[in-house]
Every structure is written in structure tokens, then in C-alpha cells.
Amino acid sequence: MEIKREARAGFLTRVAAMALRDRFALAGIAIYLFFIVIALLADRIATHDPLEILFRSNGRVAANMQPGASFLLGTTNLGRDVFSQLVFGARSALIVGLSAAVVVVAIGTIVGLLAGYFGGWVDSILMRAGDIALAIPFLPFVIVLTAFLRPSTTNVIIAVAALLWANTARVVRAQVLTVRERAYIEAARVTGAGNARIIFVHVAPNILPISFLYGSIVVGWAIFAEATVSFIGLGPTDSVSWGFMLQDAFVSQALSRGSYYWFLPPGICIMLIVSAGFFISRGYEELLFPKLRD
């Protein structure tokens, strides 16, 4: 048991040390933290209700207003504040991203644990299911499934989780194949511990850090998928997201009018948060794949 705690503590220490040493990992974590703070404080940061139609002092709709003191990023063609939509869009994006990451990590970790620990026919069935998930094109599948069900945040999360769990499962399985042969696992078997206890008490804590790292990548993919679905008009209509903003700007021909203040900010936010997942995975490559150091 002491060996197990030391191994887990050593892994977590390396995770923290890598974040401080590698600029990619540090940048990715910083981007995530920035948007998390924005999402949590959206009610205080936003200057208006994101769906409220605003009016000028003369009673006319404040449509297509340029950025200024009253409207930091201008307004849409319907008189809605772009800055407030951008801020609340961060909340919608993180709800989708974090929810999808939790579901993907949970499914992928459980599948990887079972496949790696039991092996045999259990491993074959679960990994073949993973192969099928990896073979299906990601964005077309999300679009088709969301259209077939109905536009909602929940259905986007389901569509993302239905495919992305396989990547996490494969990495977890590879780690379990090594962990299950260690001395403290054999000691647990000798003392009469059942398979369920060994898997979830002795094996799982050692592979959870890797699961969480893959979860950080899922956040970006889920947000990208939600933005894509919203852009083509299949996203939720009762909330504001960055994809909703891009779709609204596209339909309103914001580009032809030169309203860059409307569509560039959400596009940049999507790019940053998707890049953050890549930065974190790039920074932790050596931790996930130690042979790269050779």
C-alpha cells in the first residue's frame, strides 16, 4: 500500500513539475483557467443581458453599433450587446466542454480498466467497440445525431461522448496492463480482495491522472463540436454560445458589412480553447509516453 501511495504521489509531482517547466502545458492550463473565471463571473462581467434588445436614447433599436464606451464590442443587427454574448458564451462553452469531458473520462476509464484488467474476450469486445468508434468521422456523426434527436446541449454531449471515449480507453488499458502486474496488486489478491476492489481501489487511482489529462483534450473538442453544430443552426436556441454568435453573424452578413467586432471575438475564443487542449497534451507527451524521452 505504501508503494502504491508513493507511486501515485510521484506521478502527481511529475504532473505539477511538468506544468511549471513546459511552456505549452502552462499556456494551456492558463487559457482554461482564464475562461473558467470568465464563465463563473459572467453575471458580473457582462454589461447587458445577452439576448436583450437594446435601444438608443432616441428610442430606436441600437442595431449595428460600433464598439465604444456604451458597447465594448458593438451590437448585433438586432441590437444585442456582442460583449455580453461573448462573456456568456464562455459559460455555455465550458458547460458543454466540462460535461462532455466528465462523461468521456468516466466511460473511457471504466472501459480501459475492464479491458486491461480482465483481458481475453472482455478486452477483445471492448477494444473492437473502440475501433468502431474511432473509425466513425467525428463532426459528421455529431451533426447527424444532433439533427436526428433535437438541438440541445445534452445531445451534443452525448454525441461527443459516443466517439471520444475510445481514445481514453486505449491509453488507460495500456497503463492497466502494466499496473496489474505490480507487487501491491498481487498482494491484494493474496489477501482475498475481489476483482472489483482491486480495479477501483488499487488500480484506478494510478491511472486517473492520465484520464484527467485526456479529459482536458476532450474539453476543446466538445466546444468545437458545439460551435460547429450551432453554426449550422442545430444548436440550442435558448442560450448564447460562441457558435450561436458565429451563426447569427453569418446569417446577418456581418462579414460583407465589415463587422469584424461581431464574429472575430468568438472565433478567437474557440481557437484559443481548442488550442489549450493541444498545448496540454503537447506538454505532457513525455509523461504519457515515457519512451519519447529516449
Please state the rounded mean pLDDT for residues 194-206. 80
Please state the rounded mean pLDDT for residues 48-64. 82
* Domains of the chain by residue range: 2-293
Structure-model confidence comparison of residues 275 and 151, the more confident one: 275
Please state the rounded mean pLDDT for residues 191-198. 78
Please state the rounded mean pLDDT for residues 270-292. 72
- Model confidence at 234: pLDDT above 80: no
- Model confidence at 268: pLDDT above 80: yes
pLDDT digit string, tens, across residues 140-163: 888 888 888 777 778 888 888 888
Cβ atoms of 247 and 233 closer than 8 Å: yes
Supply the pLDDT for residue 285: 62
Please state the rounded mean pLDDT for residues 195-205. 80
**CATH, range 2-293:** 1.10.3720.10
Amino acid found at 27: A
Burial tier of 174 (Cβ tally within 10 Å: 0-12, 13-18, 19+): middle
Supply the pLDDT for residue 292: 47
Please state the rounded mean pLDDT for residues 178-188. 78
From 11-25, 75-89, 90-104, 134-148, the region with the lowest mean pLDDT: 11-25
From 30-39, 221-230, 277-286, the region with the lowest mean pLDDT: 277-286
- Model confidence at 192: pLDDT above 60: yes
Supply the pLDDT for residue 87: 92
Task: Identify the bridge partners of residue 61 per DSSP, sorted by sequence position.
Answer: 55
Supply the pLDDT for residue 186: 74
Q: pTM for the complete prediction?
A: 0.78
Residue carrying the nine cell digits 466517439 = 163
CA 244 – CA 66 distance, rounded (Å): 20
From 18-22, 36-40, 59-63, 73-77, the region with the lowest mean pLDDT: 18-22
Q: Where residue 5 falls among pLDDT bands split at 50, 70, 90?
A: low
Distances (CA, A) of 40 to 37, 46, 87, 90, 93: 5, 11, 10, 9, 12
Helix (H, G, I), strand (E, B) or coil at 61: strand
- Tell me the range of 87-101, 193-207, 214-228, 271-285 where mean pLDDT is highest: 87-101
Q: Where residue 3 falls among pLDDT bands split at 50, 70, 90?
A: very low
Helix axes 242-251, 82-118, angle to 10 degrees: 130
Q: Where residue 246 falls among pLDDT bands split at 50, 70, 90?
A: confident
CA 208 – CA 109 distance, rounded (Å): 8
- Model confidence at 53: pLDDT above 60: yes
